[in-house]
A and B are shown apart, each in its own frame.
Chain A
Amino acid sequence: MSLARRVPWGGLAVLAALAVPALGSRFYTFVATDVAILALFATSLNLLLGYTGLVSFGHAAYFALGAYTCGILMKKAAVPFLAAWPAGGLLAALFALAFGFFCVRLTKIYFAMLTLAFAQIVWAICFKWNDVTGGEQGLPEIPYPDLGWMERLPWLGDLRTSDHFYLLTVVLVALCLGVLRRIVDSPFGRLLTTIRENPERAEFIGVHVRRYELIAFVIAGLFAGLAGGLFGIFNRGVFPDFAYWPKSSEVLIMTLLGGMGYFWGPAVGALVLLVLNQQITSYTEYWPFVLGSILIVLLFAFPGGLVGALDSARLRLLRKP
């Protein structure tokens, strides 16, 4: 197809991301880590929202489950990161399987409400189960993974621990996004889009709609959990807020801002929203007001998000040379 399609955007983005610590700014590394992790979180939601057409209002639940599981294992049981992190994703996936089993039986608004109810249950448990989750206070001081080996590598020796963790995050997020990309471009991913477009018709080309939706729900839960595990460490602690419904709307907004249904949309959304957040909160405390206004402009003027707007601009250019 066009030239833009042949550029390996993903690879370039990873290379650019890996170069961030070279700028030597603690702040840039901080923002970049945040962006990388939330890009994964939002992309996992996009599998439901943009590809399957399912509006989940409780995606934060799986993020929190991954964060708590990974955090608790590392802090309380001193489990190494390489075991604790996948365990967090796995537990999130298991809960997604259990909750999703009921959710996919409902349609539209009822689906959204039930995902919300389950997420609030997860939140209530995190909030109240003091012995395990630390309750309202959360679990501060999740340790960094042991990345001492990075110091022995050329160029990386002088970097801070947070830089090391950032590099690890970039590699892991890139791997996860690679897997998600494969799934989206697979026959399974294609059938998900038929469900988004027209569930009734999808049934009549032989698609077992509920089963496909459930599998998508579990995959989305898995990657949300993996994102959560990284976020807990980055955030130096896990808190009940991770599962609370404003977190679910935040990731919905990111996905919408970037463009649902476009693979790189949510990542772009995460980047733009977080950078904007950093900029604006340094001027004013009224970030929610700004966010709400952005959202309204988006809903009315750019329903396809930023990537969607670029895409239609590109199509217009191609049509009228």
Chain B
Amino acid sequence: MPDPAFLFAQSLSGLTAAMFLFLIASGLSLIFGVLRVLNFAHGSFYMLGAYLAWQVVQWVGTGPGRFWWAALGAAVGIALLGGLVERLLLRHLYGRAELYQLLFTYALVLILSDAAKVLWGTGQLSVSRPPGLTGAVRVFGTTIPYYNLFILLLGPAIALVFWLVLHRTRAGRFIRAAALDREMLGALGINVDRLYTGVFVLGSFLAGLGGALVTPVKTIVPGMDVEIIVEAFIVVVIGGLGSFWGTFLGALIYGQVLSFGILIIPRFSIFSVFALMAVVLILRPWGLLGRPLR
């Protein structure tokens, strides 16, 4: 029987990872749900969010509150970038086969990763934890940094805000309608162009925010884009592409499987998440909480 404190620490680290993943994957899932585009570049937006946050911190310094402005600034910057990409390029590929959209977003991955190398080099960058959240607390013999606690609370909070937007606002109603049945959009008299841009901007914002918030706990390196996009794919596939709560559930499952998979079969923990993804696709291609596409 393993030490309970150890199990607790393990599941908590899985949970923290899950909250970050949820932040990233929810944007990916939202964009797929409405635009039916699987955005490989979502991971690149996340990476750029991290670099941008680092950059802003360099400019404004590390005083109280500065980190939060940097995070917000990075997220807004990425949202703008997303808006430009959608308006200028992606828009023209909507009528085409999925392959073209997939490869377009993959082209963005290639371009943005090199752009990041040009702008910020290939070294490791890091951002210190914001003042006020630098300490740690001991629970059941496990040290938990305040920042991780903050993330654990932030995840559900963002989920809640997101849910409120989807269920209590006009725009949210349109988004849900679009995710369920695209034919309905025209009938409801919605400006589809604007809805698509808006959703892409919102999704990019979440990716940028995720990237910015991860900087105090992870070093910023080239390649973090590809790493996260694979994980985010797994999460949305398990939960259900386009499903909000599915993404939340998928992130939780992924976090736990990864942190406990290492204990049970250490050499095959990556294997186990891909196997899980394959099994879900075989049995329920639309994911645990998703719905079959019309």
Contacts and interface: CB of A to CB of B under 8 A. Distances in A.
Contact present between A and B (CB < 8 A): yes
Interface of A: 49, 55, 57, 102, 105-106, 108-110, 112-114, 116-118, 120-121, 124-125, 127-130, 245-246, 249, 252-253, 256, 286, 288-289, 291-293, 295-296, 299-300, 303
Contacts of A289: 110-111, 114-115
Interface of B is mostly: helix
A118 B278 contact: yes
A303 B99 CA distance: 11
B114 A127 contact: no
B258 to A, nearest CB: 12
Given A109-B98, A121-B271, A295 B281 contact: no
A235 to B, nearest CB: 22
B179 to A, nearest CB: 14
A55 B233 contact: no
Given A55-B98, A292-B110, A113 B281 contact: yes
Given A114-B282, A289-B110, A300 B92 contact: yes
25 contacts: A55-B98, A102-B278, A102-B281, A105-B282, A106-B285, A108-B98, A109-B241, A110-B285, A110-B286, A114-B281, A117-B237, A120-B230, A120-B274, A124-B270, A128-B268, A286-B114, A286-B117, A286-B118, A288-B110, A288-B111, A289-B114, A291-B110, A292-B106, A293-B107, A299-B103
Given A120-B274, A293-B107, A303-B96, 16 more contacts: A49-B99, A102-B278, A106-B285, A113-B281, A128-B270, A129-B267, A130-B267, A245-B230, A252-B103, A286-B118, A288-B110, A289-B115, A292-B114, A296-B111, A299-B100, A300-B89
Contact of A124 (B100, B111, B268): B268
Contacts, number: 109
B275 A121 contact: yes
Interface string B101-128: 0111011111101110110000000000
A74 B119 CA distance: 45
Nearest to A107: B285
B227 to A, nearest CB: 12
B38 interface: yes
Interface string B243-272: 000000000000000000000000110110
**Closest A-B pairs by Cβ, 10 of them:** A292-B110, A289-B114, A292-B111, A295-B107, A124-B271, A288-B110, A292-B107, A117-B278, A120-B274, A110-B285
Nearest to B96: A303
Given A55-B99, A112-B102, A295-B106, A106 B281 contact: yes
Most buried by B among A129, A130, A296: A296
Contacts of B267: 128-130
Contacts of B237: 113, 117
A299 B93 contact: yes
B277 interface: yes
Given A102-B282, A121-B274, A299 B104 contact: yes
Interface of B: 36, 38, 89, 92-93, 96-100, 102-104, 106-111, 113-115, 117-118, 226, 230, 233, 237, 241, 267-268, 270-271, 274-275, 277-278, 281-282, 285-286
B170 to A, nearest CB: 29
A114 B278 contact: yes
A102 B282 CA distance: 6
Contacts of B102: 55, 57, 112
A91 B118 CA distance: 43
Contacts of A292: 106-111, 114
Most buried by B among A108, A129, A288: A288
Nearest to A114: B281
A102 B92 CA distance: 33
A118 B267 CA distance: 18
Contacts of B285: 106, 110, 114
Nearest to A294: B107
Most buried by A among B104, B111, B117: B111
B281 A296 contact: no
Contacts of A127: 270
Given A113-B237, A289-B114, A299 B274 contact: no
Most buried by B among A116, A253, A293: A116
Contacts of A118: 278
Contacts of A49: 99
Nearest to B267: A128
Contact of B111 (A55, A249, A293): A293
Nearest to A122: B274
Given A114-B278, A289-B114, A299 B107 contact: yes
B106 A109 contact: no
Contacts of B275: 121
Nearest to B36: A109
Contacts of A300: 89, 92-93
B226 to A, nearest CB: 8
A130 B233 CA distance: 27
Contacts of A112: 38, 98, 102
